[in-house]
Structure 1
Amino acid sequence: MAVQPESISPSLELRQLLDIFPLPIRQALIRLHDLESIIEVVLDLGRLPEARFSEDFVYLSNESVTKEDLEHVIGRLGAFGKDNRAGIEMTLHRISAMRNRTGTIVGLTCRVGRAVYGTIDLILDVVRSGKSICLLGRPGVGKTTMLREIARVLSEDRRRVVIVDTSNEIAGDGDIPHPGIGHARRMQVAEPALQHAVMIEAVENHMPQVVVIDEIGTEAEAMAARTIAERGVQLIGTAHGQSLENLLMNPTLSDLVGGISAVTLSDEEARRRGTRKTVLERKAPPTFDVLIEIQERDRLAIHANVAEVVDALLRGYMPQPEVRQRNASGAVEVVQTAEVQPAARDGHAALERELWEEEREEGERERPKMIFPYGVSRNKIERAIQNLRVGAAIARKWDDADVVITLKSLERKETSRLREIASENVPIYSIKTNTTAQIQNCLKDLFNLGSIDSEEIALREAEEAIYQVLLNAQTVELSPQTSYIRRMQHQLAEKYRLQSRSTGAEPNRRVQIFRGEGLTSSVPN
């Protein structure tokens, strides 16, 4: 028999949470006129107890929380797991502990859990389509509540639903799951690190048609999710991130939407696309068919075909998702229709086009001039080639080379190798010192570039470094420059939301460009 929403009393569950608190705090909570909208109660040792709401909080007492208060609450809970979470049996409430350095609990966050019905009417057609769905959104926006309701609805549609419940947030604490999940079955996880193993166990042992999982956050869990989806099981899950782009740029979780790899195109394909030969492309089919960004509780954006959306993002477009919301009368309305490739976007794909504008206009040139380095750094020649953007490459053997670059000191010695090269009429260019600046001057003569401003070369070098950082997420170090040019390189990194720093002592002080946790670059001298 299907579980009816009215058979569960929110007020009853809230009273079960109130019962764990000491009498003064419980009475203060009961006196709140908006108790039904409370989100959590916070008890920190030595501070005033708080009741928190979505946009505000109130103090519950003029007396600070004591150790006895904390012990009173802890004694009425189940055991805390390795994730420092506990619950109240047969309820959805979650109590999280804060510990000091010795492991003693010094703070509690008592989050109110509610089974809210009707939350998935916005996406009911998507849920019943049988496609795997990933939910994204900021903390507290309602992802877990929506997962619980999806499990209930699909189980009452007579689908075999198994929930992998790591912290007992979906189906509540205790061995008997909360009625809010309907007929779905729940597998508990002994500790968070084992979540991926339980995900695989659910598929191998219990023959589900649907697997529901909250908070996919590690590479192992992402691989387990792919395994589940590839076995033809509908996967409904949440992941860390607020948008598809967040997920795509997350190296740990990008596999959920297909992942990113660098691909070298043929000359013909690069010319057809109008891009450089090395581009970013989706690595594999996405684990999830549909991705839903929960913007607000009554408003969400739906990417109905993740594969197409990711391909569009990597080619420099900002796909327009379908946006649905619940209006004042409670009806569902579509306020924006989906469009995969409406307009170019900012980001690494747009940067790719901007950095190589000239190359795209001219198309692929003839075979690059092959340069054989004799006694000269191969890496410095490659950097000079990138800085000047000339059609050249490194030859592995001198007899494959169009040109040889060597040092004047070696040329004076007239080694047998250089005599052999000269006898074959291969041009030999000599430089005084093995530096990027000297090699660049040599290449300017070789390609008849004339005078190129050192500032322009330095900025070109920074642009190429930015592309490499976006492509490989590795730190790139630039050539030494003056403080004025370094400042411009810092500003260029900031433009593309990368971080940078200056390192070394003058005159060899130089800029390093890298990805960081912040969104902007520091601009030191």
Structure 2
Amino acid sequence: MDLAVRREIVDDLTELFQILPDDVRRALEACETTEDLIEIVLDLGRPPEARFEGHYVLLRDDPVTAEELEAVIARVGSFGPDNRAGIERTLHRISGIRNREGYIVGITCRVGRAVFGTIDIIRDVLETGQNILLLGRPGVGKTTLLREVARVAADEFQKRVIVVDTSNEIAGDGDVPHPAIGRARRMQVPKGVRQADVMIEAVENHMPEVIVIDEIGTSDEAYAARTIAERGVQLVGTAHGNTLENLVLNPALSDLVGGVQVVTLGDEEARKRGSQKSVLERKAPPTFDVVVEIQERDQVAIHHRVADTVDALLRGVEPVPEVRRRGEGGTIEVVQDAAWPDEEPESRGHGAAGRAGVPVRRGHGRPFRIFPYAVSRQRLENAIRDARAPVEITKFLQEADMVLTVKGQYRKMPKRLREAEARGLPIHVVRSNTQAQFQAFIETLRTKTTDDRW
């Protein structure tokens, strides 16, 4: 993928600055740039701060007074049960910190921006109609991306889109939604605990083709998401968690990716797998087909096959997602291809420790067998076929004559590679998942294996 993308940013900062004390507003307007302004913090008895990406600026030396906080609250209006308020028809969020008596003693003014064009890094995934879950740390841009998903699906794909807006962060405060969501419709949630009910109501009453949800955070909401997906409605949402692995380990939200259950195997099956009798397995098909981890504002990791990835995680295999990055000028490039290692469930072998580069041995009367770990199986098969090499790819570690992996995985030495060393298997390391690397590996294998069929 090599696509130049034009991005347009709408931040409505003038409306946000209007609610602040006059000298604080003037200090902000005097800043060299506000493009990377994240939030403005007003804490009682402390100087006001402007927080930018990677640094902060004190806006004056004098501390914030109770009168100034009251003036800001009067301009904003009442705070809800979640201690949040907003500025009508903007995307900014105003949050309060209360003392024990319930009085507000601190205010966080978080800047909300509509970034048109940011969706292009995952646009092809959205076009497939699959259910997409966005993950990432707070402030990395999940809601911004979700807002653009709603606009593109409604305006460009001409779909019926409903936004379930629990905290009014996606479409802004007030009854009229912000233009950033395009022709998508917005349903507000009176209380956070009712989000699951509003999700179901949206499907039953308004016939959407796409539902957009921010912050799926409870088991009830996870169940509602599964119900929506089973009705054939495309679901795009965010959840609490940085990575897919975090989500699998979260009891309340693991159902979003299929859930986890303990399965007791029979003696014969456990012996066949080489595992304990009690193992973890995925309980059901995932609600979301694709998981996008937003690693940085301009970099995402995409798990295209969530079911296979979760199965691999439960076997102790570290997934290798596709990683995309937006470079200077808006060019989007794939910096890492996805790879799904074909492996057997956990096994327990013993033997002398092996090392990368050890000469290989073959069993007589059968092809040389390679166990690929976190490498592209398709490209490896192509290299074997092009070289007409007497080599097979095996799913089972105990059948392998060698393990093939990439440099990054060998440095981490995950569980499966440690097990290969314990079995005495040689581990060959390639720098990256490229066809050229696999072809060079096959040529290296020729020099290390004595066989008249090469």
Map 1:374-523 → 2, pairs under 5 A: none
Scaled by the length of structure 2, what TM-score is found? 0.73
Who is 1:116 aligned against?
Answer: 115
The offset of 1:148, in angstroms, is 0.1
Distance 1:9 1:314 in 2: 41
Q: Does 1:252 align with 2:230?
A: no
Distance 1:46 1:38 in 2: 23
Map 1:108-507 → 2, pairs under 5 A: 108-156=107-155, 157-341=157-341, 353=347
**SS of 2:88 mapped into structure 1:** coil
Counterpart AA for 1:298:
D
The answer to whether the Cα contact below 8 Å between 1:320 and 1:342 also exists between their aligned partners in 2 is: no
Distance 1:209 1:191 in 2: 25
Distance 1:14 1:329 in 2: 25
The answer to whether the Cα contact below 8 Å between 1:291 and 1:303 also exists between their aligned partners in 2 is: yes
Map 1:14-29 → 2, pairs under 5 A: 14-29=13-28
Distance 1:60 1:194 in 2: 39
Who is 1:73 aligned against?
Answer: 72
Distance 1:177 1:213 in 2: 15
The offset of 1:143, in angstroms, is 0.3
Who is 1:56 aligned against?
Answer: 55
**SS of 2:340 mapped into structure 1:** coil
The answer to whether the Cα contact below 8 Å between 1:22 and 1:73 also exists between their aligned partners in 2 is: yes
**SS of 2:118 mapped into structure 1:** coil
CA deviation map 1:432-459 (0-9, x unaligned): xxxxxxxxxxxxxxxxxxxxxxxxxxxx
Who is 1:464 aligned against?
Answer: none
| Cα gap change, 1:52 to 1:159, in 2 (>3 Å) | same
**SS of 2:330 mapped into structure 1:** coil
Counterpart AA for 2:262:
A
The answer to whether the Cα contact below 8 Å between 1:318 and 1:342 also exists between their aligned partners in 2 is: no
Which structure is richer in relative contact order (CA contacts within 8 A, separation 6 or more)? Answer: 2
The offset of 1:268, in angstroms, is 3.1
The offset of 1:277, in angstroms, is 2.0
Distance 2:73 2:10 in 1: 23
The answer to whether the Cα contact below 8 Å between 1:155 and 1:161 also exists between their aligned partners in 2 is: yes
Who is 2:100 aligned against?
Answer: 101
Scaled by the length of structure 1, what TM-score is found? 0.63
CA deviation map 1:39-82 (0-9, x unaligned): 11100011100011011111111111011111111111132111
CA deviation map 1:166-218 (0-9, x unaligned): 10000000000000000100000111111111111111111111111111111
Distance 2:287 2:148 in 1: 22
**SS of 2:133 mapped into structure 1:** strand
Counterpart AA for 1:244:
L
CA deviation map 1:7-58 (0-9, x unaligned): x9836x1100011111111111111111232111100011100011011111
Distance 1:308 1:159 in 2: 29
The offset of 1:309, in angstroms, is 0.7
Distance 1:308 1:78 in 2: 49
CA deviation map 1:261-291 (0-9, x unaligned): 1112233322222212221100011110000
Number of corresponding residues:
344
Who is 2:90 aligned against?
Answer: 91
Counterpart AA for 1:245:
E
Distance 2:87 2:301 in 1: 34
The offset of 1:255, in angstroms, is 0.6
Counterpart AA for 1:146:
L
**SS of 2:215 mapped into structure 1:** strand
Distance 1:316 1:218 in 2: 26
The answer to whether the Cα contact below 8 Å between 2:164 and 2:213 also exists between their aligned partners in 1 is: yes
Distance 1:179 1:92 in 2: 10
The answer to whether the Cα contact below 8 Å between 2:290 and 2:302 also exists between their aligned partners in 1 is: yes
Who is 2:395 aligned against?
Answer: none
Distance 1:116 1:342 in 2: 39
The answer to whether the Cα contact below 8 Å between 1:318 and 1:341 also exists between their aligned partners in 2 is: no
Distance 1:146 1:343 in 2: 34
Larger of the two Rg values belongs to structure: 1
Counterpart AA for 2:107:
L
**SS of 2:90 mapped into structure 1:** coil
Distance 1:268 1:188 in 2: 54
Distance 1:84 1:109 in 2: 11
Counterpart AA for 1:213:
I
Distance 1:49 1:214 in 2: 30
The answer to whether the Cα contact below 8 Å between 2:9 and 2:114 also exists between their aligned partners in 1 is: no
**SS of 1:238 mapped into structure 2:** strand
The answer to whether the Cα contact below 8 Å between 2:9 and 2:115 also exists between their aligned partners in 1 is: no
Who is 1:481 aligned against?
Answer: none
Counterpart AA for 1:102:
E
The answer to whether the Cα contact below 8 Å between 1:45 and 1:66 also exists between their aligned partners in 2 is: yes
The offset of 1:229, in angstroms, is 0.8
Counterpart AA for 2:174:
G
